[in-house]
A and B are shown apart, each in its own frame.
Chain A
Amino acid sequence: MSLLRVEGLTVALPSGGDRPHAVEDISFSVEAGEILCVVGESGSGKSITANAVMRLLPKGLPVRAGAISFEGTDLLALAPEAMRRLRGQRMAMIFQEPMTALNPLMRVGDQIAEVLRVHGSGADAARRVPELLAAVNLPDPAAIARSHPFRLSGGQRQRVMIAMALALEPALLIADEPTTALDVTTQMQILRLIREIQSRRGMGVLFITHDFGVVAEIADRVAVMQHGRIVEQGLAAEVLNRPQHPYTRALIAAVPHGAAPDRADITAAPVLELRQVEKTYRRGGLFGARAVVRAVHDADFSLRRGETLGLVGESGSGKSTLARCVVKLVEPERGTIAYHGTDLRPLSRAAWKPYRRRIQMVFQDPYASLNPRRTVGETIAEGPVTHGVPRAKALDRARDLLRLVQLDPGAMDRYPHEFSGGQRQRIGIARALAMEPELLIADEPVSALDVSVQAQVLDLLADIRARLGLTMLFITHDLRVAAQICDRVAVMQRGAIVEQGRTAEVFAAPQHPYTRQLLDSIPGRGWTPPAL
C-alpha cells in the first residue's frame, strides 16, 4: 500500500477561467522513503495538486472527482476535525515564500511549539524546539527560538518552516517550490537538508518545482504536468535523459545547458568603464536607528563594443544597484562611470538626457515594468517622442519593433494586462530598442519567466544583439543563463566584484572560493540536459 495515492483527481476552476479544470484526472502515488517531484510551468496545476492533498484549497476550487488516500484513509471523505488532526502530525507542508510564511508577530520558538501544542504534545515543547532547530542545522537554536521571524534570513526561515513541518515526524512532507525564492547557495543547502532528513526518517516527499535542475538534484521519480494534466511520469533518470512526451522534451530542451560558448576575444574599444564606483545606503533619519549598507564598492569593470558582460551574484550582492548606477537610477557617491571616455556620474538630469538614447535598460518584472494605463504602442513610442521624434514616425517604428520582437503589430492599441509575461518582456525590450541604443542593460530579464519562455527571450536577445551589434550588460543570478549568453562574467559578492573573466574560463577554473561555491550550487550540475 502506497503512503499517498491520488487517483483521477479533478479540481474545478471558477467559471470564466481559461480552462474548466485546474487539475484534470491526475493519478500518482508517493511511497514511503521516496521523493516524487511534480514539475511543470506556472499554471500547470502543480501547486493546486499539493494543496488538494492537504485539503487547503480555497473555496473557489472544489474537488470534482477522484480519490486521495493517505495511509489507506480517504482524505476527501474525512471530517474537517479529523483532517486537521492529520495535518502537521502525519502530513506536513512547506511553502514557497519563507518571508511571508511565518507569523511576523510570533516568536519562532512559539510557532514551532504551536504545532506540538495543537496536537497535544505541548508538554515537551521546551525540550523539542531547540532540538528541531538544531536538526535543521540552525546555529544557536536557543537564540533563534527566542527571535522573531523578521530577524532571520530567507534560508533560515525556510529551515524554521522545515523544522516546524518535521516537529511531529510526519510520514508525508509536501514541499511547494520550497527553494524557488532562495539564492542558489541557500537553495542547495535546503535541498540537501530535505534529502538528508527524508532519507534518515524514511518520509515520503511530494516535491513541487518548476526547475529541472532541482529535479535532477533530488527526485527519485518525476511527474511532468502541463495544463492540469500529468503528461509523463517515471523514474527521474529516465525522464530527464530520455523524455518521451513532446512537452517534456520541449521543456528540457529549453533548460539553459550551461556549457559556455567559446567565443573569440573582443578587442574593440571600451564603451563603458567603471572605476571606484561606490554606493552606500544609510537607513533611518533623525529619529530612526541608523544602518549603513555598502551596496557597491570595488566593482571596476569595462565593457567593449559588441561585448556582453554578465554580472552574476546572489540577491543583495549589489549587481542591480551597480547596473542602476550606470543609468543614474541610483546616484553613487564617488567613482567614474566613463561612457566613451566621458564621465556620466556628475552630469545633471538635463545633461544626461542625450545619453538616454544611447543607453537603455530592460527590467526584470514584466508585470511591473509596463505602465498599465497606456497602450503598447504609446509605451514603445514614448521614448523617441520624448526625444523629439514626430509621433507618427515613432508609432510606425513601434510597429516594426513589435515585429522584430516577434509580436503581432496589432498589439499596438492593446493594454499590457492583455499579454502574458513573456510577451510583456518582449514589449519591454521593444521599448528599449526604440531608442536605438548602443548599450543595453538587461536586469534579470528572464528570471521571472517560465523555462520555455525564458529560452525564447534569451534567443531573442542573442539574435537582436547579433543583428544590431548591441553592447550588453546582463545581470542575472542564474549561472546557467549567464554561461549561455555572456562573453565575460563578473561575479559579485556583497557589493564587490570578486572575480571576472571570460565565461568559459571562469566556469572551467574558478579562482575565487565564492565563485566555486556558486558553481557547486547550480542545482543538478551533475546533469547535462540531453541535446534534443
Chain B
Amino acid sequence: MKDFWRRYRRNKGAVLGLVILLLVMLMAATAPLLFPGSPWDMAGAPFSPPGEMGMLLGTDSLGRDVAAGIAHGARISLLVGAVSTLAALLVGVTLGAIAGYLGGIADDVVMRFTEFFQTIPSFVLAILLVAIFTPSIGSVVFAIAVVSWPPVARVVRAEFLSLRGREFVQAAEVLGKSRLAIVVTDILPNALSPIVVLSSLMVASAILLESALSFLGLGDPNLMTWGFLIGSGRSVIRLAWWMSVFPGVAIFLTVLALNLVGEGLSDALNPRLARQRGAGA
C-alpha cells in the first residue's frame, strides 16, 4: 500500500486529478450547507451575470443560482457516474469471468453477445432506452450501465483467459480447489488492477453520457444535473454565456480528474506501463 502510494505520487497529473476530484466530492457533500434550499429556487433576477447581486456564477432564465445548480448537480452527476459504473461492473465482470474462465462455447456465446452490444451505436441505444422507460434517474442509470458494460467484459475476459493458463492457477487445480474458490481467491484478485483503472474511466464517461442525455432533454426533470444546466443554458448561450460555460467547466474538470486518477492508478498498479508512459501524462 505504501509503495502503491509512492508510485502513484510519482505521476504529478494523477495527484492533481485526485485533488480536483476530492474538491468536487467536497462540494457535492457540502452543497446543502453552501446553498441551503432547493437549487430550483428562483433566488434572483433572471440572467444576472456572474458577480452581480451576490450571484457568484450568475443566474439563469428563471433567476436560479447557477452556482447552487452546479454544487447540487455535482451530487447527481457523481451519483449517476458511480451507480451506473457499479451496475456495469457487475454485469461486465460476471460475463467476462464466465467467458474467460470457462472458455469454449460459453466464451463464444458471451463474446458474440458482447460484440453485438458493441456494434449498436451505444449513444443511440442509450437515447432509445431512456426514451422507452421515460426519463428518470433510474432509466438514465440503467441506460448508461447497459451501454458501458461490454468493455469491462472484454477486459475481464482477457485477464481471466491469461490468468487461467498461469501455473499458480493450475497449481490450485492440482490442489483440488473448487472452481469458485479458484476464481474468487486466485484469479479475481490478480485481475483487479485493470478493472479498477477501467472503472475510474467508466465513471468519467458515464458522467459525460449523462450530460449528453440531459443536454438532449432526456434527463430526470426533478433532479439538477450539470447536463441539464448546459442543456438549459445552451439556447441562451449568447444572452447568458455563464449558464452553459460554468457547468461545462465543471464537467470538464471532473472528467479530467477521473481520467488523471485513472492514469495514476494504472501507473501505480502496473509499474511496467508507468515506465512506458514515461514522464508524460
Direct contact of A and B (CB under 8 A): yes
Q: Which residues of A contact B (CB under 8 A)?
A: 285-286, 324, 327-329, 349, 352-353, 356-357, 359-361, 363-365, 368-374, 382-383, 386-387, 428, 431, 435
Query: Would you call B170 an interface residue if the criterion is a C-beta within 8 Å of the partner chain's C-beta atoms?
Result: yes
* Smallest Cβ-Cβ distance to B168: which chain A residue: A371
* Smallest Cβ-Cβ distance to A329: which chain B residue: B170
Q: Give the chain B neighbours of A356 by CB distance below 8 A.
A: 174-176
Q: Give the chain B neighbours of A370 by CB distance below 8 A.
A: 168, 171
| Bound form: Cα–Cα A352–B281 in Å | 51
Q: B172-184 interface mask toward A, CB cutoff 8 Å, 1 = contact, 0 = none?
A: 1111111101000
> How many Å from the CB of B279 to the closest CB on chain A?
12
- Could you list 28 A-B pairs, sorted by A, with CB under 8 Å? A285-B108, A324-B170, A327-B173, A329-B170, A349-B179, A353-B176, A356-B175, A361-B171, A361-B174, A363-B167, A363-B171, A365-B167, A368-B166, A368-B168, A369-B171, A370-B168, A370-B171, A371-B186, A371-B189, A372-B168, A373-B190, A382-B177, A383-B175, A386-B175, A386-B176, A386-B178, A428-B171, A431-B171
Given A368-B166, A368-B168, answer yes or no on A327-B177 (Cβ-Cβ < 8 Å).
no
B155-212 CB contacts (< 8 Å) to partner A: 166-168, 170-179, 181, 185-186, 189-190
Given A285-B108, A372-B190, A373-B189, answer yes or no on A387-B171 (Cβ-Cβ < 8 Å).
no
* Smallest Cβ-Cβ distance to A359: which chain B residue: B174
Q: Give the chain A neighbours of B173 by CB distance below 8 A.
A: 327-329
| Bound form: Cα–Cα A364–B170 in Å | 12
Q: Give the chain B neighbours of A349 by CB distance below 8 A.
A: 179
* Smallest Cβ-Cβ distance to B188: which chain A residue: A373
| Bound form: Cα–Cα A73–B64 in Å | 79
> How many Å from the CB of B253 to the closest CB on chain A?
35
Q: Give the chain B neighbours of A383 by CB distance below 8 A.
A: 175-176
Q: Give the chain B neighbours of A387 by CB distance below 8 A.
A: 176
Interface size for B (C-beta < 8 A) is 19
* Smallest Cβ-Cβ distance to A361: which chain B residue: B174
| Bound form: Cα–Cα A383–B175 in Å | 5
The answer to whether B167 touches A368, judged by C-beta atoms less than 8 angstroms apart, is yes
Q: Give the chain A neighbours of B168 by CB distance below 8 A.
A: 368-372
State the 10 A-B residue pairs at the shortest beta-carbon distance, nearest first.
Answer: A356-B176, A369-B167, A383-B175, A363-B167, A373-B189, A371-B168, A368-B167, A353-B176, A361-B174, A327-B174
* Smallest Cβ-Cβ distance to A437: which chain B residue: B174
Q: B70-109 interface mask toward A, CB cutoff 8 Å, 1 = contact, 0 = none?
A: 0000000000000000000000000000000000000010
Q: Give the chain A neighbours of B170 by CB distance below 8 A.
A: 324, 329, 361, 363
Q: Give the chain A neighbours of B190 by CB distance below 8 A.
A: 371-373
> How many Å from the CB of A200 to the closest CB on chain B?
42
| Bound form: Cα–Cα A349–B175 in Å | 12
Q: Give the chain B neighbours of A435 by CB distance below 8 A.
A: 175
> How many Å from the CB of B18 to the closest CB on chain A?
24
> How many Å from the CB of A372 to the closest CB on chain B?
7
* Smallest Cβ-Cβ distance to A378: which chain B residue: B185
Given A371-B186, A371-B190, A386-B177, answer yes or no on A364-B108 (Cβ-Cβ < 8 Å).
no
* Besides A357-B176, A371-B189, 19 new A-B residue pairs in contact (Cβ under 8 A), listed by A number: A328-B173, A349-B179, A352-B176, A356-B175, A356-B176, A361-B170, A368-B167, A369-B166, A371-B172, A371-B190, A372-B168, A372-B190, A373-B189, A374-B185, A382-B172, A386-B176, A386-B177, A386-B181, A431-B175
* Smallest Cβ-Cβ distance to A416: which chain B residue: B168
Q: Give the chain A neighbours of B186 by CB distance below 8 A.
A: 371
| Bound form: Cα–Cα A364–B176 in Å | 19
* Smallest Cβ-Cβ distance to A443: which chain B residue: B167
* Smallest Cβ-Cβ distance to A286: which chain B residue: B108
Q: Give the chain B neighbours of A373 by CB distance below 8 A.
A: 189-190
Q: Give the chain B neighbours of A359 by CB distance below 8 A.
A: 174
Q: Give the chain B neighbours of A327 by CB distance below 8 A.
A: 173-174
* Smallest Cβ-Cβ distance to A382: which chain B residue: B175
* Smallest Cβ-Cβ distance to A384: which chain B residue: B175
> How many Å from the CB of B23 to the closest CB on chain A?
33
* Smallest Cβ-Cβ distance to A360: which chain B residue: B174
B44-77 CB contacts (< 8 Å) to partner A: none
> How many Å from the CB of A424 to the closest CB on chain B?
11
| Bound form: Cα–Cα A123–B190 in Å | 53
> How many Å from the CB of A250 to the closest CB on chain B?
29
The answer to whether B174 touches A329, judged by C-beta atoms less than 8 angstroms apart, is yes
> How many Å from the CB of A451 to the closest CB on chain B?
22
The answer to whether A364 touches B167, judged by C-beta atoms less than 8 angstroms apart, is yes
B11-30 CB contacts (< 8 Å) to partner A: none
> How many Å from the CB of A174 to the closest CB on chain B?
26
> How many Å from the CB of A277 to the closest CB on chain B?
18
| Bound form: Cα–Cα A435–B178 in Å | 16
> How many Å from the CB of B187 to the closest CB on chain A?
9
Q: Give the chain B neighbours of A328 by CB distance below 8 A.
A: 173
* Smallest Cβ-Cβ distance to A330: which chain B residue: B170
> How many Å from the CB of B267 to the closest CB on chain A?
17
| Bound form: Cα–Cα A363–B189 in Å | 21
| Bound form: Cα–Cα A360–B174 in Å | 7
| Bound form: Cα–Cα A370–B175 in Å | 13
| Bound form: Cα–Cα A373–B191 in Å | 11
| Bound form: Cα–Cα A372–B193 in Å | 13
| Bound form: Cα–Cα A410–B119 in Å | 54
| Bound form: Cα–Cα A206–B167 in Å | 36
> How many Å from the CB of A319 to the closest CB on chain B?
16
* Smallest Cβ-Cβ distance to B186: which chain A residue: A371
Q: Give the chain B neighbours of A374 by CB distance below 8 A.
A: 185
Q: Give the chain B neighbours of A360 by CB distance below 8 A.
A: 174
> How many Å from the CB of B57 to the closest CB on chain A?
47
